[in-house]
């Protein structure tokens, strides 16, 4: 099969390799569309380790090409997407329903071969049929949508509330989209003017560069702040400017230390929550149902689609931070 191999930082080579083996309980999928994610960019740039040569990618939509022994709920030809993080199911955290932070989970395109290839393999338990009426582009963006929906659910925000979203990348934009669909008013912040325009297009009521955050959030009665940029400075902004009694939800993955005042958080009753990917299987089921109903259209964040042979160009453009979701087409 054809596969895009990351052979060293920022070096992609398209090669012919053997298809992944099909173990008991697994499904082989012929890739039709794949999405480029921030995790892919981090590994591509060498900021996260990879066992070179390595196949990146975890946002995939395609059709079942083969099923392994023991698979009864899927058949060849089914149009499917993958929930690409596989908790071990046995550790103490998994037994407590916290598989999203399982230390032993397998993740497609992170510590397992990814989907930037002609075929990809996944456990059948984490392969979901795409309902009729859901477009291919909506289907392939359900995975990042689920990340955003999980954060929104964690916050407890509901109809009539006003929330703030810092960082209008894909997760931030999809969070805005999800919140607006629930009747929640959104104030969006991003340093890039084009991203602010995208936020307004997704339904945000206000979009700014963030300089006026504290006063604006207080005036507008913000009840939840979502940090989606993944930078120390934006984490500090979220915790310093969150209004009294609000919730700050950290979805971004900043690796740098951030400073905050514990006294303010305690005295003003500000809750700090983290939101790591999603919970299996409920969150993915919920996201698929919302898209199938027509309530959410995650493909609205797609800005460009590249051919498979140009994956390296797609990754480099995505790394610029100026695009929405970038897709890669295999067909």
Indicate the domain borders of the chain.
Answer: 2-129+297-329, 145-274
| Residue 233 neighbours by CB distance under 10 Å | 14
% of the chain at pLDDT higher than 70 = 100
Is the pLDDT at 331 greater than 80, yes or no?
Answer: no
pLDDT at 211: 86
pLDDT at 40: 97
How far is it, in rounded angstroms, from Cα 118 to Cα 62?
10
pLDDT at 108: 98
Q: Which CATH architecture has domain 2-129+297-329?
A: Alpha-Beta Complex (3.90)
pLDDT tens-digit series, residues 211-254 = 889 999 999 999 999 999 999 999 999 999 999 999 999 999 99
289 — pLDDT class (breaks 50, 70, 90): very high
pTM of the model: 0.97
**What's 145-274's CATH class?**
alpha beta
20 — pLDDT class (breaks 50, 70, 90): confident
| Residue 197 neighbours by CB distance under 10 Å | 14
Mean of all residue pLDDT scores within the chain: 97
């Amino acid at each position: 099969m054809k596969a895009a191999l990351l052979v060293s930082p920022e070096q992609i080579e398209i090669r012919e390799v053997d298809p992944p083996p099909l173990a008991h309980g697994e499904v082989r999928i012929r890739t039709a569309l794949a999405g480029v994610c921030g995790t892919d960019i981090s590994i591509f740039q060498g900021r996260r380790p990879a066992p070179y040569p390595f196949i990146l990618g975890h946002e995939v939509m395609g059709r079942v090409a083969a099923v392994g022994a023991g698979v009864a709920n899927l058949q060849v030809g089914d149009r499917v997407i993958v929930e690409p993080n596989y908790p071990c199911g046995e550790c103490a955290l998994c037994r407590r329903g916290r598989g999203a932070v399982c230390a032993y989970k397998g993740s497609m395109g992170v510590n397992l071969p990814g989907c930037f290839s002609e075929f990809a393999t996944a456990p059948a338990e984490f392969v979901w049929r795409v309902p009729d009426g859901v477009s291919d582009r909506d289907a392939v963006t359900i995975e990042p949508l689920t990340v955003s929906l999980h954060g929104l659910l964690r916050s407890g925000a509901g109809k009539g509330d006003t929330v703030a979203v810092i960082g209008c990348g894909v997760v931030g934009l999809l969070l805005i989209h999800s919140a607006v669909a629930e009747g929640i008013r959104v104030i969006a912040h991003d340093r890039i003017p084009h991203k602010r325009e995208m936020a307004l297009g997704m339904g945000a009521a206000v979009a700014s560069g963030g300089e006026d955050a504290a006063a604006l959030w207080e005036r507008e009665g913000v009840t939840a702040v979502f940090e989606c940029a993944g930078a120390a400075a934006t984490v500090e902004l979220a915790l310093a400017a969150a209004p009294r009694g609000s919730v700050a939800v950290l979805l971004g993955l900043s690796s740098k230390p951030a400073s905050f005042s514990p006294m303010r958080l305690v005295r003003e009753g500000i809750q700090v929550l983290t939101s790591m990917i999603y919970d299996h299987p409920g969150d993915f089921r919920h996201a698929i149902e919302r898209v199938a109903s027509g309530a959410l259209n995650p493909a609205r964040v797609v800005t460009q689609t590249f051919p498979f042979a140009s994956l390296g160009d797609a990754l480099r453009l995505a790394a610029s931070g100026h695009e929405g979701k970038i897709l890669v087409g295999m067909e």
